Structure 1
Amino acid sequence: MLKSLRAKIFSSFMLLVLMLVIAGIMSIIEFNKVGVSIKNVMDDNYKSIEQTKQMLDALEREDSGLLMYLMGNREMGSQTINTAYSAIQDAIKIAQNNITEKDEDKYIHNIIKKYEEFHTSVKQTTDTSEQLTLEEKNEIYLQNQQLFFSAKKAINELMQLNQEGVYKQTNTMKENSKRAMMPAIVSIVAAIVFALLLNFFISEYFIRPINRLIDGVKSFYPEKG
């Protein structure tokens, strides 16, 4: 009887341990799924943000190249403009192959449009700069600045879109983490309830009958009490 009782108690506690192990495994699996999916999306967002930084840097260099050209340093200015053009084209191609946010392709299309307007104006200015007076050069440069800021705004809008995407993914990660914890919480609560019920049944159906049996024996054999 005692062996049977021990076996039942042991089996009950093993079931309790099994419930907790299952809860832990389920939570680990869910956390792993959340971590992998969020990491992939956030990596893409950070990649897009990095490309917008490259675009801004190239845009700034092209503007500087135009200024150098107008000031008479044509060789260095032309080289800077061409290098910046290649850099921004490369960054745009990478961004086009790394779309993660809704309507991101429209933002990139807007960048292409605004940048082409700026770059076309830059090339036209360098091609005709020999016939321009200093005053005309200053006026044209100021006109180019409007196109420059328009292109810069388009790039910043794409950067902001991806920064907001990172923020949303961070919030999503928090929510998914909470959901990943639910199986563990439910299982732990169930295990606690099970432990309380187990304690009640052991006390009610095993301990008390044994105590009554002992008390009965003592009443028949008071000298052994």
Structure 2
Amino acid sequence: MLKSLKSKIFSSFMLLVLMLVIAGIMSIIEFNKVGLSINSVMDNNYKSIEQAKNMLDALEREDSGLLMHLMGNRETGSQTIEHAYSSIQNALKIARNNITEKDEDNYIENVIKEYEKFHASVKQTTDSSATLTLEEKNETYLQNQQLFFAAKKSINELMQLNQDGIYKQTALMKENSKRAMMPGIVSIVAAIVFALLLNFFISEYFINPINRLIDGVKSYYPETGRIDAKINLKDEIKALEDEINNLIGRLK
């Protein structure tokens, strides 16, 4: 029986090791999936945010170019406007290739629509600025400012959409991380339960019988004729008790 018990304990131990290995592999796979998916989405979000910032910077420069043009520095103003226009077109192209959020294409189209209104007004103003009086220039610039702020608002909305997307992906990453940790938590709980059961079986089938055998030997007196360790199991420890009693009988 002792050999059978040892075999069962060994089998249980190997099963626990196997469970821990499987749980570890599952956790690694889940964390790897989480990392790859989050990195892919967040990279695109960051690219879109970066391009939105480039659009805002170019929009500010185009507005500055318009102001320079109206103040008489036409060549520098026109160059600034053209460079700003080119920068915004390039940023829009990159943003289109990094769409990750729902309806993000609609946000981009709104940016294009509002910016084209502003740019068309800027071009119209620069083309006719030579014939405008100072008062008319001031009035035209203020009118352009309304279109400028509308375009800026649409870009900020695009940026906010991607920022919200990053917050959502962060929350999703936390949730997926918890899910990935579950196999490890389950295996740890199983290991604790197994350790408690193993401790019980070792105490019940090994330590306690040996202690009873020791107490029986200590309490032996010749007149009793034998020791009684009260070992109820039919195993090697019980056999040892019987052999001790046989030895006592032979000695007597």
Same fold (TM over 0.5): yes
8 Å CA contact 1:54–1:87 kept in 2: the answer is yes
Work out the CA distance in 1 between the residues paired with 2:242 and 2:136: 118
Over residues 163-193 of structure 1, what are the superposed CA-to-partner deviations in whole Å (9 max), with x where a residue is unaligned?
0000010010000000000011112212222
Aligned pairs for 1:10-89 (under 5 A) are: 10-89=10-89
| Displacement of 1:213 | 4.1
Q: Name the one with the larger helix percent.
A: 1
What secondary structure does 2:100 align onto?
A: coil
8 Å CA contact 1:16–1:195 kept in 2: the answer is no
Between 1:101-110 and 1:182-191, the stretch displaced more is: 182-191
| Displacement of 1:23 | 1.1
Match of 1:166 in 2: 166
Distance 1:142 1:222, change over 3 A: farther
Work out the CA distance in 1 between the residues paired with 2:240 and 2:199: 20
Over residues 93-152 of structure 1, what are the superposed CA-to-partner deviations in whole Å (9 max), with x where a residue is unaligned?
111121111111111111011001100000000000011011110111011011001100
Work out the CA distance in 2 between the residues paired with 1:165 and 1:213: 72
TM-score by length of 2: 0.81
8 Å CA contact 1:61–1:80 kept in 2: the answer is yes
What secondary structure does 1:98 align onto?
A: coil
Work out the CA distance in 1 between the residues paired with 2:248 and 2:195: 37
What secondary structure does 1:47 align onto?
A: helix
What secondary structure does 1:100 align onto?
A: coil
| Displacement of 1:35 | 0.6
Between 1:207-216 and 1:140-149, the stretch displaced more is: 207-216
User: Could you tell me which amino acid in structure 2 is paired with residue 166 of structure 1?
Assistant: I
Q: Does 1:145 align with 2:148?
A: no
8 Å CA contact 1:23–1:188 kept in 2: the answer is no
Q: Does 1:104 align with 2:83?
A: no
User: Could you tell me which amino acid in structure 2 is paired with residue 35 of structure 1?
Assistant: G
8 Å CA contact 1:66–1:126 kept in 2: the answer is yes
Work out the CA distance in 2 between the residues paired with 1:87 and 1:97: 16
| Displacement of 1:206 | 5.6
Q: Which has the higher contact order (CA 8 A, sep 6+)?
A: 1
Work out the CA distance in 2 between the residues paired with 1:193 and 1:2: 22
Distance 1:134 1:222, change over 3 A: farther
**Aligned residue pair count:** 224
Work out the CA distance in 2 between the residues paired with 1:87 and 1:116: 14
**Unaligned segments of structure 2, at least 5 residues:** 210-232
Between 1:102-111 and 1:18-27, the stretch displaced more is: 18-27
TM-score by length of 1: 0.91
Work out the CA distance in 2 between the residues paired with 1:222 and 1:81: 113
8 Å CA contact 1:62–1:84 kept in 2: the answer is yes
What secondary structure does 1:102 align onto?
A: coil
Work out the CA distance in 1 between the residues paired with 2:190 and 2:9: 18
Over residues 30-61 of structure 1, what are the superposed CA-to-partner deviations in whole Å (9 max), with x where a residue is unaligned?
10111110110000100100010010011000
**Unaligned segments of structure 1, at least 5 residues:** none
Q: Does 1:183 align with 2:183?
A: yes
Work out the CA distance in 2 between the residues paired with 1:127 and 1:39: 47
Between 1:31-40 and 1:213-222, the stretch displaced more is: 213-222
8 Å CA contact 1:99–1:105 kept in 2: the answer is yes
Match of 1:115 in 2: 115
Between 1:18-27 and 1:68-77, the stretch displaced more is: 18-27
Q: Does 1:91 align with 2:91?
A: yes
